[in-house]
Amino acid sequence: MAQDTLDASVKATDPTAGKSKVELRNVSKSYGDEWEQQRVIDRLNVEIKPGELTVIVGPSGCGKSTLVNLIAGFEFPDSGEILLDDKPVTGPARDRMVVFQETALIPWQTTYQNIVFGPKLRGDLRGKALQQEADRLLAKVGLSEFKHKYPLQLSGGMQRRAELARALINNPRIMIMDEPFRGLDAMSRGLMQEFFLRLFEENRRTNLFVTSEIDEAIFLADRIVVLSNRPAQVRTVIEVNLPRPRDYKMLASAEAYAIKREAMAILHEEAMKSFKAGSGADFAEAYGKDGGGGH
Ligand SMILES: Nc1ncnc2c1ncn2[C@@H]1O[C@H](COP(=O)(O)OP(=O)(O)OP(=O)(O)O)[C@@H](O)[C@H]1O
Ligand SMILES: [Mg+2]
């Protein structure tokens, strides 16, 4: 494939690398057989703009990871289209790298071995060039001293950083992050968000970041796409015009607070819908009486 003949060391200096756009047009996806179909995504339209950090927020179980799998090419839509730089996505490729919540590091390989695994397997970056690129990325994610350690010897935050380096060595056209910091303690999560922001602000690679945390969304995003309850549809798109480089204090600004109010109101409404549809109906009824807990 022409894509695979691209030399990663050449791509690394290409100023347009990582400046891709993704468009989802009327994308629908259902699971199940013809007897019991469950529509997870319903005529979804989303635009991920070049060099922007687009954050998707939505209630638990609304179809966020399904959306990620579709863009990554692990799954295919039933109808509609997904375009990467105007060309339909036909399957997984290293131009779209996904970092998941669950660690995907290979446990019996060191940090260094994990990072060089992909390029080595494909043979598109070798020898000294590969070594130099891996060392550069290890330094960038602050793991130089841990290059010979195994994943289990790393903290949760370090594992996520190793995964970032492992994705970045492929110099993808878009980075896709599916709740990558979920499960980290609050302090590590905050630090990872700041670390990730610095990395993004450095070269503004097109990014799709999925989260269920509204503060995380506001802190990171250029634009927040708020999804409905399942089947996922776009409820609203919020532009976040906080200046960059960002710092945590900006979350206390009037603008951040206004965004939070707007997004929380929608998310609360959508979460209640899923509660009512499920076993939480009694709770939802009781809780809904006071107007939804006063967010
Ligand atoms: N491969 C699959 N086969 C059948 N059903 C699936 C499959 N993948 C997802 N689903 C269903 O689709 C719905 C949405 O799941 P998905 O994981 O996309 O939601 P999510 O928004 O990422 O949830 P969470 O907030 O828990 O991460 C769920 O009801 C799930 O059971
Ligand atoms: Mg998910």
- In this structure, which ligand is nearest to the CA of 178? 2
Full residue range of the structural domain in which residue 198 is found: 2-95+170-288
Average pLDDT over residues 109-138: 92
Q: Worst-scoring range by mean pLDDT, 60-69, 120-129, 152-161?
A: 120-129
Residue of the CA atom closest to atom 8 of ligand 1: 66
- C-alpha of residue 202 to centroid of ligand 1, in Å: 33
In sequence order, the 6+-apart residues with CB closer than 8 A to the CB of 93 are: 3, 73
H or E element in which residue 176 lies: strand 174-178
User: Where residue 281 falls among pLDDT bands split at 50, 70, 90?
Assistant: low
**210 Cβ inside 6 Å of ligand 1:** no
- In this structure, which ligand is nearest to the CA of 229? 1
DSSP state, 4? G
**64 Cβ inside 6 Å of ligand 1:** yes
Do 143 and 76 fall into the same domain? no
Cα angle value 25/73/184 (rounded, 5°): 100
pLDDT digits (tens, 9 = 90+) for 34-59: 788 899 999 999 999 999 999 999 98
Please report the pLDDT score of residue 128 as a whole number: 92
Residue with tokens 């980290």: 184
**Residue 87: beta bridge partners?**
84
Write down which residue in 136, 153, 169 finishes a domain.
169
What's the half-sphere exposure (Cβ side, CA atoms, 13 Å) at 30? 10
User: Whole-prediction pTM value?
Assistant: 0.87
Instruction: Please give the Cα distance from 54 to 22 (Å, whole number).
Output: 11
**Residue 25: beta bridge partners?**
81
Residue 274 belongs to a domain with what CATH number? 3.40.50.300
Do 255 and 131 fall into the same domain? no
Q: Which atom of ligand 1 is nearest to the CA of 60?
A: 25
Write down which residue in 131, 147, 169 finishes a domain.
169
Task: Evaluate whether 180 touches 102 at the Cβ level (below 8 Å).
Answer: no
Write down which residue in 121, 154, 169 finishes a domain.
169
pLDDT for residue 29 is more than 50: yes
Question: In this structure, how many other beta carbons lie within 10 angstroms of the beta carbon of residue 70?
Answer: 22
Please report the pLDDT score of residue 43 as a whole number: 96
Cα distances (angstroms) measured from residue 213 to each of 102, 138, 269: 17, 28, 15
User: Which of the given ranges, 92-96, 114-118, 182-186, has the highest pLDDT on average?
Assistant: 114-118
Best of 27, 30, 31 for a ligand 1 pocket test (most atoms within 8 Å of beta carbon)? 31
Q: Which atom of ligand 1 is nearest to the CA of 68?
A: 18
Q: Is residue 97 helix, strand or coil?
A: strand
Residue of the CA atom closest to atom 29 of ligand 1: 61
pLDDT for residue 273 is more than 70: yes
Cα distances (angstroms) measured from residue 145 to each of 148, 192, 254: 8, 18, 41
Instruction: Please give the Cα distance from 275 to 80 (Å, whole number).
Output: 29
Please report the pLDDT score of residue 284 as a whole number: 55
Cα angle value 56/61/67 (rounded, 5°): 45
Please report the pLDDT score of residue 274 as a whole number: 72
The verdict on residue 101 lying in a domain is: no
**Total domain count for the chain?**
2
pLDDT digits (tens, 9 = 90+) for 1-26: 333 333 443 344 455 567 899 999 99
**218 Cβ inside 6 Å of ligand 1:** no
Identify which has the larger pLDDT, 184 or 64: 64
Do 113 and 86 fall into the same domain? no
Q: Which atom of ligand 1 is nearest to the CA of 101?
A: 27
User: Where residue 290 falls among pLDDT bands split at 50, 70, 90?
Assistant: very low
Please report the pLDDT score of residue 280 as a whole number: 56
